Structure 1
Amino acid sequence: MRTLKVALLGCGVVGTEVARIMTTHAADLAARIGAPVELAGVAVRRANRPRPGIPDHLVTTDAAELVKRGDIDVVVEVIGGIEPARSLILSAFDHGASVVSANKALLAEDGAALHGAAAKAGVDLYYEAAVAGAIPLIRPLRESLAGDKVNRVLGIVNGTTNFILDKMDSTGAGYSEALEEATALGYAEADPTADVEGFDAAAKAAILAGIAFHTRVTAEDVFREGITEVTAADIASAKAMNSVVKLLAICERSASADGTESVTARVHPAMIPLTHPLANVRGAYNAVFVEADAAGQLMFYGPGAGGAPTASAVLGDLVAVCRNKLGDATGPGESAYAQLTVNPMDDVVTRYHVSLDVADKAGVLAQVATVFAEHGVSIDTVRQQGREGDASLVVVTHRATDAALSATVSELRTLDNVRGVASIMRVEGE
């Protein structure tokens, strides 16, 4: 029985855990796969760092040569970023190796080309670890629900932002204070931009939408809004509505009046009611709802990041790919047969929470309500609180398009009696 050889690209937090599990669980992995699996090389940027448990002779700084070796069966890519990851993966395909990747940014940008290259080479491309860490999500969408019609994917897919918003809600901390704590605890990177501005979640939303709706969706197709503008006042307003604020990834299928289907994908902060299960997802955890015709509503919950959880997903893919290698087969590839139109954010229909600073005098509320009506945005509730000549006016709307709400807000900003638009937040999960 031949030994399957694995090349590991990257030996950071995740890569180190992958190598450790491959070593300590070698016998179990061999039993599950049906053949021994050997770590044949580890590509790193700096070779002189101590790497306990990894023999020095396996470490190399020449990743390009490692993936070209003709004896490598599977390449595990956990270096992240676009380049050199893309070139290394394509080279691995050219030399007959399947690839297991955790690279959400690359898959969201260039997934179609990577799938095409893998199919041409007759090898696998698996990437369970690219979305939601240890939570099994990609494989259920690609395989378990392959016979069903998925209509919506809704969830929390970034642990850093969930930790920050949870701290703001539970302790009353401001955004900066909560971010500082997240950084101190290791939940946020030194440069947290990818997380707090929504880039990380948008890449994951693109991957999920593409698989769920059998349509090519890239990160550029995903509307993105981060949490940096969320204030303590927004958190307090949410509490007043028996809600919490979460950064949500929402991918939806919709149909026009003539039955033509299309999809939308978006990432933004939103208020959700305390009765919704996502409201109780605390700390750095992730949770995703999948809504399908036959299966109904499914919820996936667990740790969405970290070395060990992400390595768990990587090893799950490794076992599947190695089994395919032994059987001279490949698993599911890209499914983009539907080719549905990806609609812009303007077409999205949802509810809104709009907070205005206005002059505290008679007729202002009627003036504001008229602007909403003129743009076809129906008001559900209004709450007004006066303070020394000014007032805070909070309007919660019924469902309306994003374009209609944007036009309403633009006109409100021109009114003399509106001092400013303090915040706009979508309301979801009802």
Structure 2
Amino acid sequence: MRSFGIGLLGLGTVGRGVYRVLEKNSELIAARLGARLEVAKILVRDPNRDRGIPVPPDKLTTDPRAVIEHPAVDIVVEVMGGVEPTRRYVEQALAQGKMVVTANKDLLSLHGKELFDVAAAAGTDLFFEASVAGGIPIIKILKESLAANRIQGITGIINGTTNYILTRMEEADLDFALALKEAQAHGYAEADPRSDIDGLDAARKIAILASIAFNSRVTFPEVYTEGISRIEPTDIKYARELGYAIKLLALAQETEQGLQVRVHPTLVSQKHPLASVRGVFNAVFVRGDAVGETMFYGQGAGELPTASAVTGDIIAAARQLLHGVKGMWRCTCFEQKPLLPIEANESSFYLRLRALDRPGVLAGIAAAFGRHEVSLAAVTQKTTGEVADLVLVTHRVREASLRAAEAELQKLPTVAAVANVIRVLEE
């Protein structure tokens, strides 16, 4: 039976998981693949560090060239993370014609096109299933299973940390700070959680998915992003009373004018499948012209779910090598579609205002909305007192009009604060 050598760049959480899966399931993988996979060399910072798994010392190195240029390494697996020097290592491996597997969303959301160009020039392939949604095989689904479809839209919960925080805020009536602290205690959030709670992690992932789905390059800096730190238990309570759950959604859709790609908190109807996605789980809802509506659900992060996706890519790369086929996966960003600004978005909105509780106030607020052609679908006064909570839900409106109305509301002497504005997902 033939054998293919694996070179690991990194042996952190994901790298350790990949090594474990390759060792534990080696016989099963060999039987399914028809070839053996052997880890030949591993790049680490400290060869003496205890990683909780038995690794022969002669496999470890602190020299990246010892992995990339090793004659027995056929597939280079990048699980280091970060952009530099990772990009350089990946480019070097691809330029040598080696198959490369990566889980690096940061790298791909910024430099994916350049890396695919290097792979194409060298006649090899770059695999990246684990870069989005962990154990959910969404990249393969978009590139292969749904390749006959014109994808119309992608809506996803693709950050488990924020979904856990919002779930705990709803279930236990926690405020944001306490729910975040709990997520950190469980290891779901980093000590510096900004990438998650500010929506940046989800933005990187939706940039990758949108690029594949719509055949047009979308980079991370182009994605409109809002985080969840302004969400309060009051908003979650009022949303539930209206029949919604609040989720951090990553959305990408194609319109006649161009692409809309964005990440922000959203009211999701309790009847929608995404509303039931709780805790650290991820889900991606895809709409295609032929397949209709489909949803893919599973664990979006963690050592073994991510390792599952990485190892699946390793097996796919080895299968191509086994049959003498390389350079199959060209970059699919062969179109250039404009990316629309957030002001062009149209949706319904939830607003929570703090307004004086006296006659005529609501009429003044309604008049301000009317001057900007914002139609109200529902208005409810939730509290009483000197200053009361007003909850409003608009009909579908252009974002620019809503923001103009919001700016006018901020200036009204009867409005103490526009406490929150959240978009509503249309069913």
Aligned position for 1:323: 319
What is the TM-score with the length of structure 2 in the denominator?
0.97
Unaligned runs of 5+ in 2: none
Q: Is the 8 A contact 1:98 1:321 kept in 2?
A: yes
| Secondary structure at the counterpart of residue 237 of structure 2 | helix
Q: CA deviation at 1:68?
A: 2.3
2:119 & 2:329 partners in 1: Cα distance?
A: 11
1:139 & 1:78 partners in 2: Cα distance?
A: 19
Alignment partner of 1:387 is 2:384: yes
Q: Which one of 271, 274, 279 corresponds to residue 270 of structure 2? A: 274
Q: Which one of 293, 299, 309 corresponds to residue 295 of structure 2? A: 299
Aligned position for 1:7: 7
Residues 400-415 of structure 1 mapped to structure 2, 5 A cutoff: 400-415=397-412
Aligned position for 1:360: 357
Q: Is the 8 A contact 1:32 1:319 kept in 2?
A: no
Q: Is the 8 A contact 2:351 2:391 kept in 1?
A: yes
| Secondary structure at the counterpart of residue 76 of structure 1 | strand
Q: Could you give the per-residue CA deviations for residues 218-240 of structure 1, whole angstroms, max 9, x where no partner exists?
A: 01111111111111111111111
Q: CA deviation at 1:86?
A: 0.5
Q: State the one-letter code of the partner of 1:222.
A: V
Q: CA deviation at 1:191?
A: 1.4
| Secondary structure at the counterpart of residue 137 of structure 2 | coil
- Deviates most, 48-57 or 415-424: 48-57
Q: CA deviation at 1:404?
A: 1.3
Q: CA deviation at 1:323?
A: 1.0
Q: Is the 8 A contact 2:14 2:304 kept in 1?
A: yes
Residues 140-155 of structure 1 mapped to structure 2, 5 A cutoff: 140-155=141-156
2:321 & 2:401 partners in 1: Cα distance?
A: 53
Alignment partner of 1:289 is 2:290: no
Alignment partner of 1:348 is 2:349: no
Q: State the one-letter code of the partner of 2:231.
A: V
Q: Is the 8 A contact 1:20 1:53 kept in 2?
A: no
Q: Is the 8 A contact 2:347 2:426 kept in 1?
A: no
Aligned position for 2:161: 160
Q: State the one-letter code of the partner of 2:17.
A: E
Q: State the one-letter code of the partner of 1:393.
A: L
Aligned position for 2:204: 203
Q: Could you give the per-residue CA deviations for residues 94-115 of structure 1, whole angstroms, max 9, x where no partner exists?
A: 2221111000111001111111
Aligned length: 425
Q: Could you give the per-residue CA deviations for residues 303-326 of structure 1, whole angstroms, max 9, x where no partner exists?
A: 111001000001111111111122
| Secondary structure at the counterpart of residue 311 of structure 2 | helix
Q: Could you give the per-residue CA deviations for residues 245-265 of structure 1, whole angstroms, max 9, x where no partner exists?
A: 110011111114xxxxx1111
Residues 117-132 of structure 1 mapped to structure 2, 5 A cutoff: 117-132=118-133
Alignment partner of 1:116 is 2:117: yes
Aligned position for 2:134: 133
2:174 & 2:7 partners in 1: Cα distance?
A: 45
What is the TM-score with the length of structure 1 in the denominator?
0.96
Deviation beyond 3 Å, 4+ runs, structure 1:
none
Q: Is the 8 A contact 1:201 1:249 kept in 2?
A: yes
Q: Could you give the per-residue CA deviations for residues 295-352 of structure 1, whole angstroms, max 9, x where no partner exists?
A: 0001100111100100000111111111112223233221112321111111111110
Aligned position for 1:34: 34
2:22 & 2:365 partners in 1: Cα distance?
A: 63
Q: Is the 8 A contact 1:372 1:408 kept in 2?
A: yes
Residues 256-267 of structure 1 mapped to structure 2, 5 A cutoff: 256=257, 262-267=258-263
Q: Is the 8 A contact 1:9 1:76 kept in 2?
A: yes
Q: State the one-letter code of the partner of 1:274.
A: Q
Alignment partner of 1:43 is 2:70: no
Assess, with a 3 A threshold, how the Cα gap between structure 1 residues 386 and 16 changes in structure 2: closer, same or farther.
Answer: closer
Q: CA deviation at 1:386?
A: 4.9
Q: Is the 8 A contact 1:5 1:39 kept in 2?
A: yes
- Deviates most, 351-360 or 379-388: 379-388
1:429 & 1:184 partners in 2: Cα distance?
A: 35
Residues 56-205 of structure 1 mapped to structure 2, 5 A cutoff: 56-205=57-206
| Secondary structure at the counterpart of residue 6 of structure 2 | strand
Assess, with a 3 A threshold, how the Cα gap between structure 1 residues 298 and 286 changes in structure 2: closer, same or farther.
Answer: same
2:61 & 2:73 partners in 1: Cα distance?
A: 15
Aligned position for 2:252: 251
Q: CA deviation at 1:126?
A: 0.7
Q: Could you give the per-residue CA deviations for residues 408-427 of structure 1, whole angstroms, max 9, x where no partner exists?
A: 11111111111111111111
Q: CA deviation at 1:397?
A: 0.4
- Deviates most, 305-314 or 318-327: 318-327
Q: Could you give the per-residue CA deviations for residues 5-49 of structure 1, whole angstroms, max 9, x where no partner exists?
A: 110011111111111111122222223222221101111111111
| Secondary structure at the counterpart of residue 5 of structure 1 | strand
Percent identity between matched residues is 44
Q: Could you give the per-residue CA deviations for residues 164-192 of structure 1, whole angstroms, max 9, x where no partner exists?
A: 00000011011111111111111111211
2:11 & 2:344 partners in 1: Cα distance?
A: 43
| Secondary structure at the counterpart of residue 236 of structure 1 | helix
Residues 332-343 of structure 1 mapped to structure 2, 5 A cutoff: 332-343=329-340
Q: Could you give the per-residue CA deviations for residues 187-227 of structure 1, whole angstroms, max 9, x where no partner exists?
A: 11121111111111000000010001011000111111111
Q: Is the 8 A contact 2:132 2:138 kept in 1?
A: yes
Q: Is the 8 A contact 2:14 2:302 kept in 1?
A: yes
Q: State the one-letter code of the partner of 1:305.
A: A
Q: CA deviation at 1:429?
A: 4.2
Q: State the one-letter code of the partner of 1:353.
A: Y
Q: Is the 8 A contact 1:17 1:311 kept in 2?
A: yes
Aligned position for 1:259: none
Q: Is the 8 A contact 1:385 1:391 kept in 2?
A: yes
- Deviates most, 67-76 or 95-104: 67-76
Q: CA deviation at 1:2?
A: 4.1
Q: Is the 8 A contact 1:70 1:96 kept in 2?
A: no
Alignment partner of 1:308 is 2:304: yes
Q: Is the 8 A contact 1:276 1:429 kept in 2?
A: no
